Amino acid sequence: MTNFRMKYAPQTLDEAVFPSVNAKQIVTDVANLTSPDHIILYGPYGTGKTTAAKLMRKLESVVRQAKLTSCTRR
């Protein structure tokens, strides 16, 4: 039996809701691999800080893998 958070947490950045323009800019930077080395996420409990961090890390690894794959196919 899975817990509620694992079942209903967003699995992609499209499913996540980011309330500020700054968060959207960070996501764009991560997708372009121009993000800073460290990002501080802060806010009240339950606002999605950990979910956002996990999704950004997932996006970054997918983008890096795609770039590596495209480089090795040449």
Comparing 72 with 53, the larger pLDDT belongs to 53
Domain that holds residue 27: 4-72
Q: Report whether pLDDT(21) > 60.
A: no
Closest CA to 54 of 2, 22, 19, 6: 6
Give rounded-to-5 percent helix, strand, coil for the chain: 55, 0, 45
The per-residue pLDDT for 48 is 77
Q: Report whether pLDDT(68) > 80.
A: no
The per-residue pLDDT for 73 is 60
Highest mean pLDDT among 17-21, 38-42, 69-73: 38-42
